[in-house]
Amino acid sequence: MTPHSAPTGHPDPALALLPMAGTPRVRSDAARNRDALLCTAARMVAEEGASAVTMDRLAAEACVGKGTIFRRFGNRAGLMAAVLDGSEAEFQARVMRGEPPLGPGAPPYERLIAFGVARFQESVQRIDLLEAAGGGRSHAAYSFGLLHVRHLLAELGVEGDLPLLAAAVLAPLEVPLLRAQLEVQHLPLERLTAAWIDVASRVVGVSPTR
Amino acid sequence: MTPHSAPTGHPDPALALLPMAGTPRVRSDAARNRDALLCTAARMVAEEGASAVTMDRLAAEACVGKGTIFRRFGNRAGLMAAVLDGSEAEFQARVMRGEPPLGPGAPPYERLIAFGVARFQESVQRIDLLEAAGGGRSHAAYSFGLLHVRHLLAELGVEGDLPLLAAAVLAPLEVPLLRAQLEVQHLPLERLTAAWIDVASRVVGVSPTR
DNA sequence: TTGCATTCCGGACCATAGTCCGCATCACGC
DNA sequence: GCGTGATGCGGACTATGGTCCGGAATGCAA
């Protein structure tokens, strides 16, 4: 059982970097159960798909009570988002410290396009898990993408309401729309990607490359 | 009990305009039950909100069996989408035959902006019902908006993959994103609208008006 | 009107998400 | 070690979406 990398126990992971005065430590059984749940859930998703992970089965296979799952993750969507955060960390590392053009070093426009393309691919790959997570990522994962795009837009000299422009640029990558276009309309991913590059180029005000 | 305006009985409303040869007429009890369900559901939504409409309660109040609801509408989301289609018809009438700038007569750019603004307002107004409908509208309602925007983009001389450009322009209006921005980030609707106008203007290649 | 084939109805039944509280387990101070 | 208060555990329980099939209502033809 490989321990999971997500922070343990605190309501807001961003505040969990240091144990704060007055905040008692996370109990060891809580941490152990959390890791067991995430590992078991990830394995079940990999083996049988997200829809096969019922809360009862997960509780049984992880040898914990059902209430423990809901205490830790709130609901099924929260659990799936936490499972997603495992691979999300690796994605973020590729963006922050990886090779250009996704990582630092490339010009901002190339990084923006690379980010969109990578997000498309990653979303398609995990689309069933993303849907089980309620059609979205964890708040942390979504905010990361938003901040990154906003930063790139600023570097590109885009004027306007950058937080909302970034959200609008990312909106066509959202899972419900993606699923409808891929599975109902049967559009090829390349076409979706090309159209997104077109839109992103129009928003930043350059003519699309490639 | 006012009869509901949605078409009755056929799987695909678009094909229900004429009774086709070989397709038997809709049975009168089926039509009656369908109307009763839609009226009762609309009333319950208006009085108590969408979340108060459970399938058991709806069946009891409409004096039909639960199975009947699922036969007609497939699932809860389908039912809510059908309820939404009642007001959606009025919205479509405003777009197709109403006053400019939403209706015909205004230049295409003004019509596009008016459409987005109207969709924002209408979505905010019915956001709980839209969420109960699974975060989206019926296929018919969504396709209508898509076709309208695509038509306006064509009139504006926009080049590119118009169906997907239209989808991208409409993506920031989708309910999950809208809800996150309004209720989690507490952004004012005016700011969302202004940012959308900015994005739409960039896509069509004009400087934003007002 | 009556008989017949078709379609639809209805509510018992199932699966699963989410709640609750008595009780076990833990961390800490002595 | 050991007592003690706090914290978390766990599984029985509830609520609700969705399924299924025996039987009734319907429409058509004679």
Most A CBs within 10 Å, among B142, B202, B203, B206, to test the A interface? B202
Percent of chain A predicted with pLDDT > 90: 74
The reply to whether A126 falls in a domain is yes
pLDDT digits (tens, 9 = 90+) for A135-154: 888 899 999 999 999 999 99
Note whether A64 and A35 are same-domain residues: yes
Note whether B40 and B107 are same-domain residues: no
Note whether B29 and B40 are same-domain residues: yes
Name the residue with tokens 């059902």. A66
Is B23 a residue whose pLDDT tops 60? no
Percent of chain A predicted with pLDDT > 70: 87
Contacts of A205 in chain B (CB under 8 A): 202
B169 to chain A, closest Cα gap in Å = 8
Instruction: Label residue B186 left, alpha or beta by phi (over 0 means left) and psi (-120 to 50 means alpha).
Output: left
Note whether A42 and A124 are same-domain residues: no
Nucleotides of D under 7 A from a protein CB: 6-13, 15-21, 25-28
What is the span of the domain harbouring residue A81?
77-204
Q: What local confidence, expressed as pLDDT, does residue B208 receive?
A: 67
Nearest to B184 by CA among A101, A142, A154: A142
- How many Å from the CA of A23 to C1' of D4? 19
- Residue B54, nucleotide of least CA–C1' distance: D16
Q: What local confidence, expressed as pLDDT, does residue B17 receive?
A: 37
Note whether A63 and A86 are same-domain residues: no
* Count of residues making up chain A: 210
pLDDT digits (tens, 9 = 90+) for A32-78: 889 999 999 999 999 999 999 999 999 999 988 898 999 999 999 99
Note whether A97 and A194 are same-domain residues: yes
The reply to whether A210 falls in a domain is no
CB A35 within 8 Å of CB A3: yes
The reply to whether B181 falls in a domain is yes
Note whether B181 and B89 are same-domain residues: yes
CA dist B139 and A20 (Å) reads 50
Note whether A177 and A94 are same-domain residues: yes
The residues on A that touch B, with CB distances below 8 Å, are 135-136, 139, 160-161, 164-165, 167-169, 171-172, 174, 176-177, 181, 187, 191-192, 194-196, 198-199, 202-203, 205
Determine the distance from the C-alpha atom of residue A51 to the mean position of all C-alpha atoms in its chain, rounded to a whole number: 18
Contacts of A187 in chain B (CB under 8 A): 164
Note whether B108 and B176 are same-domain residues: yes
Note whether A89 and A178 are same-domain residues: yes
Averaged confidence pLDDT in chain A:
87
* Domains of chain B: total: 2
CA dist B43 and B128 (Å) reads 14
Note whether B106 and B156 are same-domain residues: yes
The reply to whether A30 falls in a domain is yes
The two structure tokens encoding residue A186: 């049967």
CB B83 within 8 Å of CB B132: no
| B65 CB neighbours strand C below 7 A | yes
- Of the listed ranges A174-178, B78-82, B134-138, B195-199, the least confidently predicted one is B134-138
In the DSSP assignment, the letter for residue B1 is -
Radius of gyration, CA atoms only, chain B: 19
The reply to whether B3 falls in a domain is no
B190 to chain A, closest Cα gap in Å = 12
The reply to whether A94 falls in a domain is yes
Note whether A83 and A95 are same-domain residues: yes
Please tell me which of the candidates B164, B194, B202 has its beta carbon nearest to residue A203. Answer: B202
